Amino acid sequence: MVKLKGLKCRECGRKYPSSPAHICEFCFGPLEVDYDYEALRGVITRASIAAGPPSIWRYKDLLPIEGDVAVGHHVGFTPLIRSQNLAEELGVTELYIKNDSVCHPTWSFKDRVVSVAVTKAKEFGFDTVACASTGNLANSVAAHAAEARLKSYIFIPADLEQGKVLGTLVYHPTLVAVEGTYDEVNRLCSEVSDKYRWAFVNINIRPYYAEGSKTYGYEILEQLGWRAPGHIVVPCAGGSLITKIWKAIRECTALGLLERAATKMHAAQALGCGPIVTMVKNDTDVLTPVRPNTIAKSLAIGNPADGYYAYRSVKDSGGYGEHATDEEIVEGMLLLARAEGIFTETAGGVTVAVTKKLIEAGVIPRDESVVICITGNGLKTPDVLLERLETHVKIRPSLSAFDRALAELKSQSTQ
Q: Which residues of this protein are in contact with ligand PLP, per CB under 6 A?
A: 108, 110, 136, 235-241, 298-299, 345, 347, 375-376
Closest to ligand PLP by CB, 3 vs 163, is 163
Residue 270: how many other CB atoms lie within 10 Å: 30
Partner interacting with residue 207 (select from Zn ion, ligand PLP, none; CB below 5-8 Å by kind): none
Strands (E), 271-333: 321-324
Stretch that binds Zn ion, among 27-35, 198-206, 227-235, 261-269 (CB under 5 A): 27-35
Among 8, 20, 22, 24, binds Zn ion (CB under 5 A): 24
Stretch that binds Zn ion, among 26-34, 66-74, 131-139, 147-155 (CB under 5 A): 26-34
How is 341-352 classified by DSSP, letter by letter? S--B-HHHHHHH
Q: How many residues does the chain have?
A: 415
Exposure pattern of 16-42 as b/e (b: 16+ CB <10 Å)?
bebebbbbbeeeeebbbbbbeeeebee
Closest to ligand PLP by CB, 90 vs 237, is 237
Partner interacting with residue 238 (select from ligand PLP, Zn ion, none; CB below 5-8 Å by kind): ligand PLP
Q: Does 52 bind Zn ion (CB under 5 A)?
A: no
Are 101 and 337 in contact by the 8 Å Cβ rule? The answer is: no
Stretch that binds Zn ion, among 25-33, 145-153, 302-310, 360-368 (CB under 5 A): 25-33
Residue type, 278: T
Closest to ligand PLP by CB, 326 vs 345, is 345
Residue 307: how many other CB atoms lie within 10 Å: 24
Q: Does 7 bind Zn ion (CB under 5 A)?
A: no
> How many residues sit in the footprint of Zn ion (CB under 5 A)?
8
Q: Does 145 bind Zn ion (CB under 5 A)?
A: no
Partner interacting with residue 9 (select from Zn ion, ligand PLP, none; CB below 5-8 Å by kind): Zn ion
Q: Does 6 bind Zn ion (CB under 5 A)?
A: no
Partner interacting with residue 12 (select from ligand PLP, Zn ion, none; CB below 5-8 Å by kind): Zn ion
Q: Which of 286, 282, 242 is nearest to 264 (CA)?
A: 242
In the complex, the smallest distance separating the C-beta of residue 236 from Zn ion, rounded to whole angstroms, is 24
Are 267 and 310 in contact by the 8 Å Cβ rule? The answer is: yes
Stretch that binds Zn ion, among 2-10, 183-191, 309-317, 319-327 (CB under 5 A): 2-10
At 194, give phi and psi (nearest 5°).
-75, -30
Q: How far apart are CA 9 and CA 23, in angstroms?
A: 8
Are 232 and 373 in contact by the 8 Å Cβ rule? The answer is: yes
In the complex, the smallest distance separating the C-beta of residue 137 from ligand PLP, rounded to whole angstroms, is 6
Rounded to 5°, the CA angle 66-72-76 comes to: 100
Residue 318: how many other CB atoms lie within 10 Å: 12
Q: How far apart are CA 274 and CA 301, in angstroms?
A: 9
Closest to ligand PLP by CB, 44 vs 203, is 203
Q: Which of 210, 415, 187, 201 is nearest to 306 (CA)?
A: 210
In the complex, the smallest distance separating the C-beta of residue 224 from ligand PLP, rounded to whole angstroms, is 21
Binding site for Zn ion (CB under 5 A): 9, 11-12, 14, 24, 26-27, 29
